[in-house]
Amino acid sequence: MFLKKLLRVLYHQLHPSCPLLKYKTGGVAANLLLKCNSLQQPYQPKFQWSFGLLSTLIYPYVVKYRQAKASFHPPKYDRTTYQLPIFNNKPNESNGITTASNATHTDEIDSMLDKVGSSWSSRRKSHAATKKEDDKINLDLEREREWLQCEIAREENRMRQLKAKRAGVTIGDTATSTATAAASSFVTCCPDIVPSGEVSIDWTGATEQEAEAIYIIVPGLTGSSKEYYILSLINYLQRKNQTKTIRIGAYNPRGRGGNKVTSNFLYSAGYTVDLRRVLQQVHDTVANNRPIILIGFSLGANVVSKLLGELGQEGKNNLINGAVVCSPPIDLLSMSNYLTNGGIIASILDKALVHNCNKQLSNDPNFKESIQNNRPTSMAELDGQIIAPMMGCQNASHYYRVASSGLWLHQINVPTLFVLPQDDPIIDGTRVRHDDFCTNPYLMGVMLQSGGHSMDLPFGRNDETWFGKVVVDFSNAVRSIT
């Protein structure tokens, strides 16, 4: 097996080939291909990075070492923090963004908290509380507020459904009109009530006044704006003078990038609500009719793909103008089966992924006890124990099915480029079917012989970032038709 792989790598080193492209002839994506020179030229990374395992496990540390050198200048970020109110995943609900905590039923919540607060005040007076104890008291008060907000929201939903039932109307009934159905759409991979939370975008590049386009980058599992592949992409855009005309925003989900954790709810591979609300805010207040391009990596690529499908199903095609996604786990159940039953290499990668997740969750007081008492030993165990119930799913398999972006590819109605290395040891590109790309005129699948899961493999004499070049070409092509 190894000898066969070695011979194949040597052959491609001597005879580099162009990426295999899958698209619908005559479609929007096919027309954009004519403007993407990087996709029509041979691509082959250096010999040592032609092995998926090496490019996935070793290359990131090489990049981080290079980025630590003085020659690398990290971007200067300006942060915008978004306070997200409670989201009611029910029909005909109004869910937006506020710059402060959710104001719904503030008086009722505050009156209830007064009783709780008085008991905590007496505790402070009777004990010489240390700063650490004060912090714990404040955290408990915040959790109490969050719980009360969720209870009030649930009661509102119950009363609304009772009123609708008495009036002879079934909320969310498939027999309702198209307009009502669009307004009452139910988001999959999302619980009935999502607690309020904090997310952020770190901005760099052109100013809002000078920018001709907005690029939003969504990181992978446990990722933030500080990830090496995001820094590499931004650095490439800077070197190509792209940042003089575009404003780049690196998205930080709940609990990542320094965002405050206010509840035991985080994010997942199929949870799109937070990103959707932030993008709506960016569209309304930042973009000002300028094109918005989404760029997603790994887990973030699945979130982007699923969100685009949801927007397409709802007939909303004016929020996002195009997207480039790298190594999206289009079929999460297949990916999980591969990590569980794929042999020694898959098992090693699975252990590495769950170790990293356990480490992150152990630092969160909302999950520390759960991890310590029953530490997951695989990603399937972690998803079944923590993520599935968080997303309103019964088990890991249920979560994988509803979170997979593959169910939504046929609904996407904006130009979207999928980069799928065939030797990716985590998200096996050979398991991705090609018919979605060949039937949806807005999709283009780019299948690479090599690439692994590193996101950022160099090529050529100057170690140019191939993915960065693809992002520039495809995004410029999208902007040319916007």
The answer to whether 243 and 204 have CB atoms below 8 angstroms apart is yes
Question: Residue 105 and residue 152: Cα distance in Å, rounded?
Answer: 8
Q: Judging by beta carbons within 10 Å of its beta carbon (0-12, 13-18, 19+), is residue 394 exposed, middle or buried?
A: exposed
The yes-or-no verdict on residue 407 having pLDDT over 50 is: yes
> Which of left, alpha, beta for 206 (phi over 0: left; psi -120 to 50: alpha)?
beta
Over its C-alpha atoms, the chain yields an Rg (Å, rounded) of 23
The answer to whether 196 and 83 have CB atoms below 8 angstroms apart is yes
0.85 surpassed by pTM: no
The yes-or-no verdict on residue 178 having pLDDT over 50 is: no
Res. 174 pLDDT band, cuts 50 70 90: very low
Res. 345 pLDDT band, cuts 50 70 90: confident
How far CA 101 is from CA of 135, 142, 170, 196, 277, in Å, comes to: 19, 11, 32, 8, 15
Res. 297 pLDDT band, cuts 50 70 90: very high
The yes-or-no verdict on residue 154 having pLDDT over 80 is: no
The yes-or-no verdict on residue 91 having pLDDT over 90 is: no
Task: Put the strands of the sheet holding 322-326 in their side by side order.
Answer: 20-23, 443-448, 416-421, 322-326, 292-297, 213-218, 246-252, 197-205, 78-84
Res. 458 pLDDT band, cuts 50 70 90: low
Res. 101 pLDDT band, cuts 50 70 90: very low
108-112, 176-180, 222-226: range with highest mean pLDDT: 222-226
The answer to whether 206 and 243 have CB atoms below 8 angstroms apart is yes
Q: What residue has token string 């869910």?
A: 95
User: Residue ranges per domain, the chain?
Assistant: 17-79+197-331+404-481, 92-186, 334-388
Query: Chain-wide mean pLDDT for the chain?
Result: 81
pLDDT in tens, 24-75: 999 999 999 989 988 888 776 766 566 667 777 777 777 787 777 766 778 8
Report pLDDT for 179: 30
The yes-or-no verdict on residue 9 having pLDDT over 60 is: no
Q: What residue has token string 């971007």?
A: 75
Q: Identify which has the larger pLDDT, 364 or 413.
A: 413
The yes-or-no verdict on residue 374 having pLDDT over 70 is: yes
Q: Identify which has the larger pLDDT, 427 or 170.
A: 427
Report pLDDT for 427: 86
HEC secondary structure over 161-194 = HHHHHHCCCCCCCCCCCHHHHHHCCCCCCCCCEE
- Residue 117 tokens read as 């607060």
- Residue 230 tokens read as 């995001």
**Least confident window among 103-107, 143-147, 460-464, 465-469:** 103-107
* Average pLDDT score over residue span 180-194: 70
* Average pLDDT score over residue span 162-171: 52
Q: Identify which has the larger pLDDT, 468 or 161.
A: 468
The answer to whether 193 and 89 have CB atoms below 8 angstroms apart is yes
Helix residue spans in 35-130 (DSSP H)? 52-57, 59-68, 106-126
The answer to whether 392 and 192 have CB atoms below 8 angstroms apart is yes
The class (CATH top level) of 17-79+197-331+404-481 is: alpha beta
**Least confident window among 34-38, 103-107, 381-385, 434-438:** 103-107
Report pLDDT for 302: 97
